[in-house]
Structure 1
Amino acid sequence: MDWSQVLASRALRMKASEIRELLKLLDQPDIISFAGGIPDPALFPAQEFSQAMTNALSGEAAKVALQYSVSEGYLPLRSWIRDRMERLGITCTEDNILITSGSQQALDYLGKLLLSPGDTALVSWPTYLGALGAFNAYEPVYDRLSLRGNRTAAQYQEAAAEAGGQVKFAYLSADFANPTGLTLTREERERLIDLSDEMNCAIVEDGAYQQLRYDGEPVPPVLALEIERKGDIEACRTVYSGSFSKTLSPGLRVGWVVAAREVIDRLVLLKQAADLHSATLNQMAVAEVAAKDFDGHVAHLRDVYGRRRDLMLDALAREMPEGVSWTHPEGGMFVWVELPEGIDAADLLATSLKTERVAFVPGRAFYADGTHGNTLRLSFSLHEKEKTDEGIARLGRLVREAMA
């Protein structure tokens, strides 16, 4: 059968994730990988999860853990998230929260809910490539979200109309963005709310790295600022997406969405149609582990990852030739590197894998228009000093050769 004759038009926009392919390199012991933005498995609270799983599968609890459940998610977990959101300035109830299979599923649902073919999604330039992958299936047009320029709401709307649709949402990670590691100022967040109010579009706030701040002063989430301005989450246009993947466990696939009840109710319908509900056993285990000592665990993560960030920044300062620049993130897992014009990071990676045996993610994949081939993303989450120093030294040598 010729499947190309029956595929939906959206299928032609689906592409393999460069990161998912690069993760296969982790099985090669001689590769020093700065590619995947993945937590260090040595830091997982494995014993706590082992006990939590045992508890969830014992006695009366097992009848809940192994049975069908409500699409909204396990109530004790939603209650814990409600309290956590309150600490961030996001006042809500359990009815404003939906549990998803990781925050990636939330992005897919929001694309499905908000985008018609030809509509415009405003995204950072560069932006999280997993978001582009999630949104691509719904055939949007992408436009560059700029909160430091002079572009007006009317100009965004005019461009969207010329493309055949309307601006539906602005997507961004306000804290320690993937891939750049950059954080929006309070003024930029306020500007985003102003623009979205003028355009009558949604804001999709990706909070995957929000807990991983190593220095600097915290800035309230966009949703918290909007609630402060408008008085009630039900009056807000921001949809906040959170995740336990970078703090407790990515493998259990537990994330959440916080939004006005009208949005949650519609997302619940999508959840029912897609997979009924996220795995209750996993939700119960996450709820128990989070309730015991989430803050203490995250504090340890910040100590470890903060030190590893510093190690990478120090190594870059020693090893990179003049003409190369990089970000200095206050948190998260990534450093964004810009090479001189004319050096293509994809070609550099191909050479690196053959010679220096260092992996990273070429930057072009993070741009909706496929430009900026002279950029790359490095993750510092996995390695201590010896491997970081060696890997960046190899990479620096490779860059100097490319510049020669």
Structure 2
Amino acid sequence: MNWEQILAGRMSRMKASEIRELLKLLDQPDIISFAGGIPDPKLFPAEAFRDAMTTALSDSQYATSLQYSVSEGYGPLRDWIADQMGLIGVPCTPDNILITSGSQQALDYLGKLMLSPGDTALVGWPTYLGALGAFNAYEPRFDRLDPGSNREAQDYHDAAAPGRVKFAYLSADFANPTGVTLDQAGRERLLDLAEELDIAIIEDAAYQTLRYDGTAIPPILATEIARKGSIDACRTIYSGSFSKTLAPGLRIGWVCAAASVIGRLVLMKQAADLHTSTLNQIATHIVARDHFADHIPSLRETYGRRRDLMLDALDREMPEGVTWTRPEGGMFVWLTLPDGTDGAELLARSLKTERIAFVPGHAFHPDGTGRNTIRLSFTLHEKELVDEGIARLGRLLRAS
């Protein structure tokens, strides 16, 4: 059968993730990988999850944990998340929370909710590759979001015609891939722009908890609530995740937004997979309730130290003409290489010679630009491998 003749046109826009392909390299023991933005499995609260799973499957719980459940998500987990949102300046109720199968599912649903073919999504340049993949299925065009620029709302509107701008997507804290944080003034300007354009804001907060130094900045949603008085009056949609803090394999994320938005997303959840794994939600609730407060400081200490190790190694080893970000949190450092250097070609040579892996920066740009950039992740390795890997990268760049 010729499958090409019956595939939807959107399939031509769906590409393999370069990051997912690079993760396969982690199985090769001689490669030092700075590629995947993944948490260190040695830091997973595995014993706590073993105990939680035992509780979830106990005689008093198994009938709930192994059964179908409501699409909105497990009630006690939604209660816990609503309480945590309140602590960061987002007063809300469980009616403002939807549990998703990871924050990636949330991005897919939000693209489906708002994008028609030809509509415009405003994104960073660069931006999270997974967001581009999720939104691409709904056939949008992408325009550059830069809250620090003086670009007028009318210009965004005119560029989107005959479609319209639907939302602005960003990770405001320690963004993937750059590690950069949007300051409070930038968040205020973004809210002003969204008001002028009458669009939604999707705030991807996957890394917000992982701040190692500096002063915490309120989420965009918290800033908007301070303006408007209630989450149900807000246009900001907050996407959270346990993947970077507890464990990614359980695939537990959430959306926090106006109840009217949550209601529409629930309809999508019902049609897509009915509900996120009840067993995983119950286990995550138990671990979050009993261990989250003690677990997060340990993560911050370890990842913060590893960030410092990478920044110190870059200071020592990078040749002239290479610059990089100095993130206050998250998982990534973003390198800008001398003009004419191609990150993809550099990676190909690296895998043959120096045996280090990283992500070429063009993958994070909707238009394929940014070829002289690369992303490094600092979460997996301690000093010996960081020093060796960055020394190899410096050697590779000097030979370019």
TM-score (norm 1): 0.99
Counterparts in 2 of 1:6-85, with a 5 A limit? Answer: 6-85=6-85
Query: Matches of 1:344 and 1:5 in 2, distance apart?
Result: 36
Query: Matches of 2:301 and 2:211 in 1, distance apart?
Result: 10
- List alignment gaps of at least 5 residues for structure 1: none
Per-residue deviation, 1:372: 1.1
Query: Matches of 2:131 and 2:15 in 1, distance apart?
Result: 12
Q: Does 1:397 align with 2:387?
A: no
Per-residue deviation, 1:388: 0.2
Alignment match, 1:97: 97
Per-residue deviation, 1:367: 0.2
Give the alignment partner of residue 165 of structure 1, picking from 159, 163, 166.
Answer: 163
Alignment match, 2:362: 364
Alignment match, 1:293: 291
Q: In structure 1, what residue type is equivalent to 2:80?
A: W
Q: In structure 1, what residue type is equivalent to 2:101?
A: S
**In structure 2, the residue corresponding to 1:38 is in which secondary structure?**
coil
Alignment match, 2:240: 242
Query: Matches of 2:10 and 2:87 in 1, distance apart?
Result: 40
Aligned-CA RMSD value: 0.4
Q: In structure 1, what residue type is equivalent to 2:119?
A: D
Query: Matches of 1:152 and 1:75 in 2, distance apart?
Result: 43
Per-residue deviation, 1:355: 0.5
Figure out how many residues of one structure are paired with residues of the other and give that number: 400
Query: Matches of 2:330 and 2:341 in 1, distance apart?
Result: 27
Alignment match, 2:2: 2
Query: Matches of 2:326 and 2:237 in 1, distance apart?
Result: 28
Q: In structure 2, what residue type is equivalent to 1:132?
A: L
**In structure 2, the residue corresponding to 1:184 is in which secondary structure?**
coil
**In structure 1, the residue corresponding to 2:166 is in which secondary structure?**
strand
**In structure 2, the residue corresponding to 1:60 is in which secondary structure?**
coil
Query: Matches of 2:121 and 2:242 in 1, distance apart?
Result: 26
Per-residue deviation, 1:293: 2.1
Q: In structure 2, what residue type is equivalent to 1:145?
A: L
Q: Does 1:206 align with 2:226?
A: no
Alignment match, 1:137: 137
Query: Matches of 1:141 and 1:91 in 2, distance apart?
Result: 34
Per-residue deviation, 1:295: 1.7
Q: Does 1:282 align with 2:280?
A: yes
Counterparts in 2 of 1:343-362, with a 5 A limit? Answer: 343-362=341-360
Alignment match, 1:195: 193
Alignment match, 1:259: 257
Query: Matches of 2:111 and 2:372 in 1, distance apart?
Result: 29
Alignment match, 1:126: 126
Alignment match, 2:218: 220
Instruction: Report Cα offsets for 1:46-104 as digits up to 9, x if no partner.
Output: 00000000000001210000000000000000000000000010011000000000000
Instruction: Report Cα offsets for 1:224-266 as digits up to 9, x if no partner.
Output: 0000000001100000000000000000000000000110000
Alignment match, 2:317: 319
- Runs of 4+ aligned structure 1 residues displaced above 4 Å come to none
Query: Matches of 1:200 and 1:147 in 2, distance apart?
Result: 16
**In structure 1, the residue corresponding to 2:108 is in which secondary structure?**
helix
Instruction: Report Cα offsets for 1:121-152 as digits up to 9, x if no partner.
Output: 00011000000000000000000001111101
Q: In structure 1, what residue type is equivalent to 2:208?
A: Q
Q: In structure 1, what residue type is equivalent to 2:75?
A: L
Query: Matches of 1:235 and 1:153 in 2, distance apart?
Result: 21
Query: Matches of 1:343 and 1:139 in 2, distance apart?
Result: 31
- List alignment gaps of at least 5 residues for structure 2: none
- Which stretch shifts more, 71-80 or 145-154? 145-154
Query: Matches of 1:262 and 1:118 in 2, distance apart?
Result: 25
Identity of aligned residues (%): 72
Alignment match, 1:174: 172
